């Protein structure tokens, strides 16, 4: 990673070379098999299943700004040429609301549309204060941890509320919608079990969707772009530009053009695969994890 993101500096994934193409199994290391199995299902779908036909050949993406100091914001945004929307990480452990305000202000000086992502890190009271302090926002993504808190927050603030973890980590992803706890649904291919499952949810939720990445490699990112390209409507920029957060990737990463990324399959570069290969003990750990998760599918 170029900077620490989601608490990590190195990203590990397993790639599957199948008859239909390349798939990715990239459940974060701390995820237990019941949750990680959905990610394996997404990788198997990509490697062995049929892919839907996209409606568009490019997808608008947002810049992603980690919880960096405000002075570092221009450097981060330079990796997302043409982006008109930026998602800013807030509520980072060990940081203050003042840090968030400074970071958001630095982003807003360079990008016209700003959304923030708290990853459920605020209490209801903290979220209300943050909404007032951060200035105009496209939406607050997962400001609080529970769907109940999101529903309460919607009644207390004028900023739209987006649900992420309340959808992808829930046994019933549609519960947050039935509770009227979100204006926007943030969805990710891997945690939901694949492109097909994401499109099924999209047809059922009845609110706008933003397709986002799960810190995927170029292989996994291609599936997110495919899912976004298949949606009937795409009113918001998608969080599918996180490839710019990696120092190295398994394939050449396309840079955004005018804030858009192209849609299409990705084939890893053999030399990059060799150079990024994990040691034998880590490879075996992933093989065992595949076996354990596959039993649950």
Known catalytic residue at 89: yes
Write phi, then psi, for 73 (nearest 5 degrees).
-60, -45
Q: Which of 87, 46, 51, 32 is nearest to 213 (CA)?
A: 87
Sort strands 58-60 and 260-262 into parallel, antiparallel or unpaired.
antiparallel
Total residue count of the chain as it appears in this document: 297
Contacts with 190 (C-beta within 8 Å, 6 or more apart), sequence order: 24, 26, 27, 38, 39, 42, 43, 214, 216, 220, 223
Q: Consult the annotation and say whether 281 binds a ligand.
A: no
Are 227 and 189 in contact by the 8 Å Cβ rule? The answer is: yes
Strands (E), the chain: 14-18, 21-25, 58-60, 63-65, 85-89, 113-117, 140-141, 161-163, 184-188, 209-212, 260-262
Contact 60/260 with Cβ under 8 angstroms? yes
Q: Is 164 annotated as a binding residue?
A: yes
- Active site (annotated) includes residue 188: yes
Q: Which of 38, 103, 115, 188 is catalytic?
A: 188
Which of 11, 38, 89, 223 is flagged as catalytic? Answer: 89
Per-residue b or e along 51-90, where b marks 16 or more CB atoms closer than 10 Å to that residue's CB: beebeeebbbbbbbbbbbebeebeebbebbeebebbbbbb
Could you list the active site residues?
89, 188
| Binding-site residues from annotation for Mg(2+) | 117, 141, 164
| Binding-site residues from annotation | 117, 141, 164
């Amino acid at each position: 990673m170029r900077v620490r993101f989601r608490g990590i500096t190195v990203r590990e994934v397993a790639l599957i070379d199948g008859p239909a193409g390349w798939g990715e199994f990239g459940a974060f290391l701390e995820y237990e098999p019941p949750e990680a199995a959905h990610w394996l299902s997404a990788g198997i779908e990509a490697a062995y299943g049929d892919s839907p036909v996209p409606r568009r050949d490019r997808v608008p993406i947002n810049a992603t700004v980690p919880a960096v100091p405000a002075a570092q914001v221009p450097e981060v945004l330079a990796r997302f040429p043409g982006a008109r929307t930026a998602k800013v990480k807030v509520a980072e452990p060990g940081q203050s609301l003042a840090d968030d305000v400074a970071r958001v202000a630095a982003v807003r000086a360079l990008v016209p549309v700003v959304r923030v992502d708290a990853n459920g890190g605020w209490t209801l009271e903290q979220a209300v204060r943050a909404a007032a302090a951060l200035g105009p926002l496209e939406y607050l993504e997962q400001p609080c941890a529970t769907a109940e808190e999101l529903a309460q927050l919607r009644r207390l603030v004028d900023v739209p509320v987006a649900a992420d973890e309340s959808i992808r980590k829930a046994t019933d992803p549609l519960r947050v919608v039935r509770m009227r706890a979100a204006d926007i649904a943030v969805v990710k291919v891997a945690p939901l079990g694949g492109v097909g499952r994401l499109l099924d949810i999209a047809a059922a939720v009845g609110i706008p969707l933003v397709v986002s990445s799960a810190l995927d490699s170029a292989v996994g990112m291609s599936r997110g772009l495919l899912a976004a390209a298949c949606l009937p409507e795409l009113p918001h920029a998608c969080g599918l530009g996180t490839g710019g957060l990696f120092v190295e990737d398994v394939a050449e990463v396309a840079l955004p053009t005018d804030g858009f990324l192209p849609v299409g399959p990705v084939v890893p570069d053999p030399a990059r695969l060799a150079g990024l290969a994990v040691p034998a003990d880590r490879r075996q750990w992933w093989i065992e994890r595949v076996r354990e998760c596959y039993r649950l599918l």
